Amino acid sequence: MKPIQVGLLGIGTVGSGTYNVLTRNQEEIQRRAGRGIEVTMVADLDTERARQVVGPQVKVVADAREVIANPDIDVVVELIGGYGVAKTLVLEAIAAGKHVVTANKALLAVHGSEIFKAADDKGVIVAFEAAVAGGIPIIKALREGLTANRIQWIAGIINGTTNFILSEMRERGLDFDVVLKEAQRLGYAEADPTFDIEGVDAAHKATLMSAIAFGIPVQFDKAYVEGITKLAATDIKYAEQLGYRIKLLGITKRREGEGVELRVHPTLVPAKRLIANVEGPMNAVVVNGDAVGTTLYYGKGAGSEPTASAVIADLVDVTRLATSEAHHRVPHLAFRQGQMHDMGVLPMDDVVTGYYLRLRVADEAGVLARVATTLADAGISVDALLQREADEVGGEGSTQTDLIILTHDAREGAMNAAQAKLQALPSVLAPIVRIRKEELN
Amino acid sequence: MKPIQVGLLGIGTVGSGTYNVLTRNQEEIQRRAGRGIEVTMVADLDTERARQVVGPQVKVVADAREVIANPDIDVVVELIGGYGVAKTLVLEAIAAGKHVVTANKALLAVHGSEIFKAADDKGVIVAFEAAVAGGIPIIKALREGLTANRIQWIAGIINGTTNFILSEMRERGLDFDVVLKEAQRLGYAEADPTFDIEGVDAAHKATLMSAIAFGIPVQFDKAYVEGITKLAATDIKYAEQLGYRIKLLGITKRREGEGVELRVHPTLVPAKRLIANVEGPMNAVVVNGDAVGTTLYYGKGAGSEPTASAVIADLVDVTRLATSEAHHRVPHLAFRQGQMHDMGVLPMDDVVTGYYLRLRVADEAGVLARVATTLADAGISVDALLQREADEVGGEGSTQTDLIILTHDAREGAMNAAQAKLQALPSVLAPIVRIRKEELN
């Protein structure tokens, strides 16, 4: 059988990784796929660079539309990124009857519904294993491996940049700004790191996992997104003393009869959980299903060849599925078109989670009682408490101290109200620091 | 479309879990699979118990052959276990044109080549996600998710009983026999625990992963198998002091141009690795591929519903694939029939690994030099060394002490020779304890 012909749109880090791994492991991949897979055409604005990556038998063009227009191309791999031209090209490739493989989480988290519908109408596949957690086959695990389960919740470290920064802050007691600069120098953070450090990239990925887990449309616009820029080394240290680590988690939860939680924020996690021990730029996703219980998937979330590993897994799947009937395929979002539920994403006030609170208080009698009473009145119960000696916090003779509280699960709306009351207490001397907490058991 | 009709052979722990989860999550599974999946017939010698599990609309019989003979049954799920009647029934089901789903690692590790060939000749599927690591979708990860990779090595905690025992031995400083009894009382170990504690069960699973990873036939008879029964609490403690944990690992490695390592034995692993922190009856598998790097998969390796989760994932795959052409399917052992290599399993003497050695020695001058020289003469280099005070080891006034050595990687044959020479030294007073060590980085 003639090899599957692949056209790459964009041959930067992931594109060259894809070309290199496909070439290097050609024989092994064909032994598995039962058919050759060949990159025969590449579109990149920098045709010079493209030619340096691929061999002379690959056609290099500057215009992506030449790839889409080529009737010999079976699969288009979109590695341009962003919502702009990438969206147009993906829709044009689908319209031209090409299967599409993409690593573009931003595009799918925002325009996924439109793109998947177009693909289903045309009978082609849009595969996106590389869009979430790089080389970890988490999309396949969620869509196929755990298909028996009613998924209950997912919590993942799905952004390597922020996990590298948090690991360094904890290990070396450094502040965010210092570590960010170092991460940029080492290539773990981009020159403009906004999408990473503000949690947007993680929210794109959480949105995709949420849709697959629960059979709902992608709803990125409903996601709550909070990054790590305001996180202080102090809170990482206090969390550690209480047996917790702080990780930037993408979380999505089924709330029976109510809706779905979808949120990204710094989160205290018990230090003994495996996911709390995922360090540096590594990724890990915890999935809880009603039958399987808690499972975890760990690996490199980015990089040339790890991401290429996911792109090629998709290419092999497409190769196998391309010739079978459309209705036998694994659905794009795990659930069949027409079988999606319109379960809404809950507003943040309705989210239920535990909390870490740090209060800078006057070191005087009765403060603890007033704080505890305020929480109790709001129906929020305290799980653990840490009161520092005033001397340790403010130096000798200090009249201020830190009060750290871990709460049991509470509704965020109730916590907002209670926090406002706490803030108004005369003994509370500075803005309260609040970080959410998940037990993940 | 008419639902896929499933016949269960055996309705014990996993069978009833499969029936219950399929029934409970019926709607969700159908939304994903695009077709209903119904258990319509069950064979179990204990028809009374079977009837208590399934509803009145399911036909219960004592003779498994009635299920196989029923032309309405599309898929046979074999949950009997063992190599005996299970083998006959699986081959008969294949001959009758049924797809087969099985959790039977023993059967496949020993007779897999025969069974997969029969299935391929007949054009039916034999699916076995439940055979390795219970609910963790590791077969799918290896066969499909990591298909771009040249897999380099796999190391897994793939037996929950032994991991529970090792966790308890470490945490509570208890000896093997004591903890085994407790594990039996708690239901983590069977009345006859031989297959688990001697490493046979782990070797069955490692054999299957080895075949899938490297595209070689199953070669259980070539596997090196060593259990945990001789492990002493002392060595767990010394390992800990050196920064290691002892786990029973199933290991398979590609040795370029030489062959494949396939072995199960207690193994020192750096305590900071995630897999070293997998406790109790949980399972985890680390897979290293040339493109993706190191990945890890964690979850429950046994139990009614976790295993059912894997059985049902296979049923959904079979449902999707049953109607597509045989040559588009994922091959049973990842690589196509006719594309298997006959790379052999290396004899244990050719295995390369690190070692932990514990020598009971006379507390006298020159012992360390003699030991070090013996190792150096054999070309084995020392990575770390721990010498205990004689008083600590043998009580006050003791003239004996423990010398603990970690070596760098060496060929097992060389280590055997060196160990024999060490044992012959007059200062070495007791049989040397040796445990293998893997860095897994």
Of A21, A25, A296, Cβ closest to residue B299: A296
Segment A180-206 shows an average pLDDT of: 95
pLDDT for residue A297 = 98
List pLDDT tens digits, range B223-258: 999 999 999 999 999 999 999 999 999 999 999 889
Measured between beta carbons, the chain B residues lying within 8 angstroms of A274 are 274, 277-278, 298
Chain A residue with the nearest C-alpha to that of B303:
A292
Segment A243-252 shows an average pLDDT of: 97
pLDDT for residue A356 = 97
pLDDT for residue B141 = 98
Measured between beta carbons, the chain B residues lying within 8 angstroms of A34 are 327-328, 331, 336
Phi, psi dihedrals of residue B319, rounded to the nearest 5°: -60, -45
Q: Which among B140, B205, B247, B300 is annotated as catalytic?
A: B205
Dig out the tokens for B306 from the structure. Answer: 């976790």
Measured between beta carbons, the chain B residues lying within 8 angstroms of A325 are 323-324
Is B10 among the annotated ligand-binding positions?
Answer: yes
Is B210 among the annotated ligand-binding positions?
Answer: no
Is A47 among the annotated ligand-binding positions?
Answer: no
pLDDT for residue A322 = 82
**What is the distance between the alpha carbons of residues A285 and A279, in angstroms, rounded to a whole number?**
13
**Intrachain domains B138-300 and B351-437 with the same fold:** no
Asked if B149 is an interface residue toward chain A (Cβ–Cβ < 8 A), one would say yes
Chain A residue with the nearest C-alpha to that of B129:
A145
Domain A139-300 has CATH 3.30.360.10: yes
Nearest-Cα distance to chain A for B158, in Å, is 14
- CATH assignment, B138-300: 3.30.360.10
Measured between beta carbons, the chain B residues lying within 8 angstroms of A328 are 34, 320-321, 323-324
List, by residue number, the catalytic residues of A: 205
Asked if B365 is an interface residue toward chain A (Cβ–Cβ < 8 A), one would say no
Radius of gyration of chain A, Cα coordinates, nearest whole angstrom: 24
Mutation site for B-interface testing, chosen from A20, A245, A295 by largest number of B Cβ within 10 Å: A295
By the 8 A CB rule, do B61 and B67 touch?
Answer: yes
Reported ipTM: the value is 0.93
In CATH, which of 3.40.50.620, 3.30.559.10, 3.30.70.260, 3.20.20.100 is domain B351-437? 3.30.70.260
**What is the distance between the alpha carbons of residues A35 and B46, in angstroms, rounded to a whole number?**
47
Domain B4-135+305-328 has CATH 3.90.1300.10: no
Q: A195, exposed or middle or buried, with CB in 10 Å at 0-12, 13-18, 19+?
A: middle
pLDDT at B325 over 80: no
**Which B residues, 124 through 143, put their C-beta within 8 Å of a C-beta on chain A?**
129, 135-137, 140-141, 143
Other beta carbons less than 10 A from residue B436's beta carbon: 20
By the 8 A CB rule, do B349 and B255 touch?
Answer: no
Q: How far is CA B203 from CA A413, B129, B209, B246, B439, in A?
A: 53, 16, 10, 17, 20
Segment (H or E) for A65: helix A64-69
pLDDT for residue A125 = 95
**Which A residues, 219 through 238, put their C-beta within 8 Å of a C-beta on chain B?**
none
Query: Which residue type occupies A409?
Result: D
pLDDT at A328 over 90: no
Each residue of B354-388: b (16+ CB within 10 Å) or e?
bbbbbbbbbbeeebeebbbebbeebebeeeeeebb
Chain A residue with the nearest C-alpha to that of B136:
A295
Measured between beta carbons, the chain A residues lying within 8 angstroms of B137 are 140-141, 144-146
List pLDDT tens digits, range B16-25: 999 999 999 9
Contacts of A397 (CB under 8 A, 6+ apart): A391
Segment A319-338 shows an average pLDDT of: 82
Distance spanning both ends of chain A, measured CA to CA: 49
Segment A118-138 shows an average pLDDT of: 96
**Which B residues, 256 through 315, put their C-beta within 8 Å of a C-beta on chain A?**
274, 277-278, 289-300, 303, 305-306, 308-313
By the 8 A CB rule, do B103 and B208 touch?
Answer: no
Between chain A and chain B, the number of residue pairs with CB atoms below 8 A apart is 220
Of B345, B372, B354, nearest in space to B411 by CA: B354
pLDDT for residue A330 = 86
List pLDDT tens digits, range A85-104: 999 999 999 999 999 999 99
Measured between beta carbons, the chain A residues lying within 8 angstroms of B277 are 274, 277
Q: What is the mean pLDDT of chain A?
A: 95
Nearest-Cα distance to chain A for B4, in Å, is 13
Chain B residue with the nearest C-alpha to that of A278:
B274
Of B32, B298, B331, Cβ closest to residue A295: B298
List pLDDT tens digits, range B27-73: 999 999 989 999 999 999 999 999 999 989 999 999 999 999 999 99
Chain A residue with the nearest C-alpha to that of B302:
A292
List pLDDT tens digits, range A179-191: 999 999 998 999 9
By the 8 A CB rule, do A103 and A199 touch?
Answer: no
Segment (H or E) for A237: helix A233-241
Asked if A400 is an interface residue toward chain B (Cβ–Cβ < 8 A), one would say no
Cα angle A121, A126, A127; round to 5: 155
pLDDT for residue A324 = 74
**What is the distance between the alpha carbons of residues A367 and A384, in angstroms, rounded to a whole number?**
16
| Residues composing chain B | 441
Measured between beta carbons, the chain A residues lying within 8 angstroms of B296 are 296-299
Fold classified for A4-137+305-328: Rossmann fold (3.40.50)
Dig out the tokens for B320 from the structure. Answer: 């999707």
User: Domains of chain A: which residue ranges?
Assistant: 4-137+305-328, 139-300, 351-437
Q: Which residues pair with A264 in a beta bridge?
A: A225, A250
Nearest-Cα distance to chain B for A212, in Å, is 10
Dig out the tokens for B340 from the structure. Answer: 């298997």
pLDDT at A393 over 80: no
Contacts of A365 (CB under 8 A, 6+ apart): none
Segment A316-320 shows an average pLDDT of: 93
Segment A50-70 shows an average pLDDT of: 96
**What is the distance between the alpha carbons of residues A284 and A300, in angstroms, rounded to a whole number?**
8
pLDDT for residue B391 = 74
Mutation site for A-interface testing, chosen from B14, B35, B318, B328 by largest number of A Cβ within 10 Å: B328
**What is the distance between the alpha carbons of residues A230 and A246, in angstroms, rounded to a whole number?**
13
Nearest-Cα distance to chain B for A294, in Å, is 6
Q: What is the mean pLDDT of chain B?
A: 95
pLDDT at B334 over 90: no
pLDDT for residue B324 = 74
pLDDT for residue A388 = 80
Q: Which residues pair with A42 in a beta bridge?
A: A8, A60
Confidence of residue B340 (pLDDT cuts 50, 70, 90): confident
